Structure 1
Amino acid sequence: MNTIHTDVAIIGAGSAGLSAYRAAKAAGASAILIEGGAHGTTCARVGCMPSKLLIAAADAAYHAAHGAAFGVHVDGAVRIDGREVMARVKRERDRFVGFVVAGVDAMPDADKLTGYARFIDDNLLQVGDHTRVHAKSVVIATGSSPVMPAMYRALGDRAVINDDVFAWDDLPKRVAVIGAGVIGLELGQALARLGVRVSVLGARGRVGPLTDPDVRAYAQRVFSEAFHFEPRAQVESAVREGDEVRVRYVSSEGKLIEDTFDYVLVAAGRKPNVGGLALHDTSLELDDDGLPVYDALTLQAGTHPVFIAGDANGVLPLLHEAADEGRAAGTNAARYPHVEPVERRAPIAIAFTDPGIAMVGARHVDLAADSFVTGEVSFEDQGRSRVMLRNRGLMHVYVHRGSRRFVGAEWIGPDAEHIAHLLAWGLQMKLTVDEMLRMPFYHPVVEEGLRTALRDAASKLM
């Protein structure tokens, strides 16, 4: 049995783990990065990048088929070659993964350890059946995995998660998407635009991450026109019949529906990967889900030399948040017991649908009813949006009554991913609505819609 002594042991070589390793080394500590699976990060392998590659193909197909309104006609049908679509997705995905793997390969061999880790006690890890690691501090950065309810597990390879989609060699004809969160909407719309017959079945009325009732209702109407969308479906059964799946559900209108699909794509959430860590062998306090109870400000588990970062803590499963938390956890682990709070950036969330969905700052559901005013703009008659025939959208911005500071926004609309960054910067700079309105707005641009919403909010504060 090999034994290694190190200052910091990092379990997991994803976005958070890699950032934690670099931060610990930068702080002058010795560090070892432990990974049991393939290198390449969730984002590069099965998340951000391959999904955007699929969405890019879907957008190309959509725009090729919708030029007639501009007087641009494609004579004959637009042909989508599913094999070519998926070949590019996988080819470019592998290119992005290669960049991450190259970075890991460049690390000193002594700082890398292959195998699945489990705790023997707070400072001692067993890695595979070959190595024990004594660490002064440990960073848990094991990421998360999609949830697969038992009903769908029984379907075998006819039930897939987003990871599996990017391994397809060709596009199927019919897919049921279970879950109307960001992943469900993004992949559901992309597949629909690529010629797949799609039904997106939500359970609790969700439309992505939206909490503002008016914006959510608007988004529901938009997506219901793009594919079969049931935000409040109650799935009663999913039964495999050969290479097909028969799904029986009660629709949002209370109708009993049966339909047949080639695959059921389960996008019903994710859970932290902590089950194999043997956390019960530590002195850490665990919550009802078996996760360490930790300080969200410092990422420290109680007073122990254990820190938890990225998707593994189940809070903000976003790459930039994982990287930030990894840096903070790695630094705190290296300097333990001297720990400092994570420097959080302005909250920002984006769904890469069309129209896009974005949220910045405080969610509508979390704001006290009498503490803010809402500024509104419809993108249906917004100049540049109409020019491009992308004039679908509704934006709500929230401004604090007393301070006049911008505190948040939720919307669906064109160029949402770019406008979201402007608003996140304004929020992080603590700008008032008046200061934001003094910023330049060119003409004609979609951002003029944002100015309309800000003006509407300002008028309600007078």
Structure 2
Amino acid sequence: MQDYDLDVAILGAGTAGMAAYREAIKQTDRVALIDGGPLGTTCARVGCMPSKLLIAAADAVHEARHTTQFGVHVGDISVDGIAVMNRVRSERDRFVGFVNEAVNGFDSRHLIRQNATFLNDNTLALADGTRLTARTVIVATGSRPIIPPPFEAAGDRLIINDDVFDWTDLPRAAVVFGAGVIGLELGQALSRLGVRVHLFGLGNGVGPLSDPDLVAYARTTFAGEFSAHFDADTEIKRDGDEVVVSWTNRNDPSDAGEERFDYLLAATGRKPNLDKIGLENTSLVLDARGTPEIDPMSLRAKSSNEGVSSIFVTGDAAVDLPLLHEAADEGRIAGENAARYPEVYRRARRTPLGVVFSDPQIAVIGQGHAALTKAGVDFDFGEVSFEDQGRARVIGKNVGLLRVYGERDSGRLLGAEIIGPAAEHLAHLLAWTIESKLTVTEVLQRPFYHPVIEEGLRTALRNLAAALEFGPNPPLRCIDCGPGG
């Protein structure tokens, strides 16, 4: 048997890499965590945490400006952009500090602060010329924003979400390209904080939603708050310190114009950091983009040599969902398998769960409409509109639509899509329910308090039960009905 320097080499000290390290050292001390870039996860440095800090400020402004429906008048509202961004950066740095403390708390013998590239499946070249051999390698190199070539016309006024969180003040105007999670969250937040925002997308999509009726509802909702064009042809030019964008809506040629902005924010997706680590020198099967084929339940990459390899790919680098909890799960699986190699086990994955912290919030849980349709599942849906939902109307958050999907034969709950209030909380209830493989009848036997947003979920479940012929239709306009309804 070949004598390697290490049992496990982990490329990348982000969420997935840290989780892999913690799992691997349970089995072996011959581990290296290799990262030459800035420490701190994408989530803490430039992702979920700083974006939520900006959104929190935006929500505070929005709530203060919408108190009159309750008969409450608060006077003039002003936004101190410098103070807003000071808090964003300060709290961001605090979160990053916690992550850095965790990494620096690892055994110093295991941490190598250099970048590495593959020379072959089991040999890595470090930046200083040192070579290491490893029985297994875990690729957890993360991802980076995609910058389409036309955006380069904006020059130094082209930014990505990373740059937003280093601002010392808010700009006057920003154009946001991308109607996905990042574009929606940052575009709406900046608009609420007083920045003139235009958002442009392609294909009429909105975030992760796939149910055509929810997508249409979302387009109408967000376009009603700030300028949003979800399927537009655009031209980008630079004029002095301004970015000039002209557009024509593909679905409505009368929706055309030209505007000037201080910045162009590219929020058009992310790609895995796999192109500079020498994967071409390995035996892995790569597609045209240089992406390896990966078993999602073991995280092992496919090799041209007998079909299996000693390389595992995890986290954002695995081209799956760029979500922290998914990266942590994948890191644990990869760390366990790499340390136990050649014993490799496939692990069941948890119910998919994704949340967009827009207002109203968006969530997709389990199998969404598109996934069920593509898989040919015989399913039906139940829905509730939050526009007339009791608790939502009481608190003035009565905007949104929820659909739950169930299997026709068994009545088992399969998934849901939401745009509405408290979606982050409803999503967890639904994820736990789907994970438990409950039927719609079983879920309806669980307790629901009154009056709460969750009663809207019960209404949707009752409608689903009726659609699947497991129960009657609920009473109309019952304001969610009390316990005896």
Q: Is 1:80 paired with 2:79?
A: yes
Using the TM superposition, give the Cα deviation of residue 450 of structure 1 relative to its aligned residue in structure 2, in angstroms: 0.3
The corresponding residue for 2:411 is: 404
Using the TM superposition, give the Cα deviation of residue 130 of structure 1 relative to its aligned residue in structure 2, in angstroms: 3.9
Q: 1:307 aligns with which of 298, 304, 312?
A: 312
The corresponding residue for 2:353 is: 348
Distance, in Å, in 1 between the alignment partners of 2:260 and 2:112 is 46
Q: 1:242 aligns with which of 228, 240, 257?
A: 240
Deviates more, 1:127-136 or 1:268-277: 127-136
Which amino acid in structure 1 is aligned with residue 36 of structure 2? G
The corresponding residue for 2:468 is: 461
Using the TM superposition, give the Cα deviation of residue 66 of structure 1 relative to its aligned residue in structure 2, in angstroms: 1.0
Distance, in Å, in 1 between the alignment partners of 2:193 and 2:210 is 29
The corresponding residue for 2:342 is: 337
Matches within 5 A, 1:35-46: 35-46=35-46
Cα deviation 1:213-243 (Å, max 9, x = unaligned): 11111111110111101000112x2111111
The corresponding residue for 1:390 is: 397
Structure 2: gaps (5+ residues) = 303-307, 470-485
Using the TM superposition, give the Cα deviation of residue 71 of structure 1 relative to its aligned residue in structure 2, in angstroms: 1.2
The corresponding residue for 1:107 is: 106
Asked if structure 2 preserves the Cα contact closer than 8 Å seen for 1:29 and 1:334, the reply is: no
Using the TM superposition, give the Cα deviation of residue 359 of structure 1 relative to its aligned residue in structure 2, in angstroms: 0.8
Cα deviation 1:291-326 (Å, max 9, x = unaligned): 122222211112111000000011111100000000
Which amino acid in structure 1 is aligned with residue 329 of structure 2? D
Using the TM superposition, give the Cα deviation of residue 131 of structure 1 relative to its aligned residue in structure 2, in angstroms: 2.2
Q: Is 1:144 paired with 2:143?
A: yes
The corresponding residue for 1:416 is: 423
The corresponding residue for 1:282 is: 282
Cα deviation 1:14-44 (Å, max 9, x = unaligned): 0000001111001235210000110000000
Which amino acid in structure 1 is aligned with residue 188 of structure 2? Q
Using the TM superposition, give the Cα deviation of residue 154 of structure 1 relative to its aligned residue in structure 2, in angstroms: 3.4
The corresponding residue for 1:177 is: 176
The corresponding residue for 1:326 is: 331
Asked if structure 2 preserves the Cα contact closer than 8 Å seen for 1:64 and 1:74, the reply is: yes
Using the TM superposition, give the Cα deviation of residue 370 of structure 1 relative to its aligned residue in structure 2, in angstroms: 6.8
Using the TM superposition, give the Cα deviation of residue 153 of structure 1 relative to its aligned residue in structure 2, in angstroms: 2.4
Asked if structure 1 preserves the Cα contact closer than 8 Å seen for 2:88 and 2:165, the reply is: yes
Cα deviation 1:348-395 (Å, max 9, x = unaligned): 111001111011111101224771111010000111100011000111
Asked if structure 1 preserves the Cα contact closer than 8 Å seen for 2:7 and 2:28, the reply is: no
Cα deviation 1:42-92 (Å, max 9, x = unaligned): 0000001000000000000111111111111112x2010000000000000
Q: Over aligned residues, Cα RMSD in angstroms? A: 1.3
Q: Could you list the runs of 4 or more consecutive aligned residues of structure 1 that deviate by over 4 angstroms after TM superposition?
A: none
Distance, in Å, in 2 between the alignment partners of 1:121 and 1:374 is 50
Distance, in Å, in 1 between the alignment partners of 2:156 and 2:34 is 30
Distance, in Å, in 2 between the alignment partners of 1:147 and 1:115 is 24
The corresponding residue for 1:129 is: 128
Number of residue-to-residue matches in the alignment: 458
Structure 1: gaps (5+ residues) = none
Cα deviation 1:399-447 (Å, max 9, x = unaligned): 1110000001111110000000000000000000011001110011000
Using the TM superposition, give the Cα deviation of residue 285 of structure 1 relative to its aligned residue in structure 2, in angstroms: 1.4
The corresponding residue for 1:435 is: 442
Asked if structure 2 preserves the Cα contact closer than 8 Å seen for 1:325 and 1:342, the reply is: no
Deviates more, 1:256-265 or 1:434-443: 256-265
Distance, in Å, in 1 between the alignment partners of 2:127 and 2:247 is 44
Question: 3-state DSSP class of the match of 2:167?
Answer: coil
Distance, in Å, in 2 between the alignment partners of 1:12 and 1:457 is 45
Distance, in Å, in 2 between the alignment partners of 1:448 and 1:141 is 41
TM-score by length of 1: 0.97
The corresponding residue for 2:479 is: none
The corresponding residue for 2:268 is: 268
Distance, in Å, in 2 between the alignment partners of 1:22 and 1:409 is 33
Asked if structure 1 preserves the Cα contact closer than 8 Å seen for 2:405 and 2:413, the reply is: yes
Distance, in Å, in 1 between the alignment partners of 2:154 and 2:215 is 32
Asked if structure 2 preserves the Cα contact closer than 8 Å seen for 1:380 and 1:392, the reply is: yes
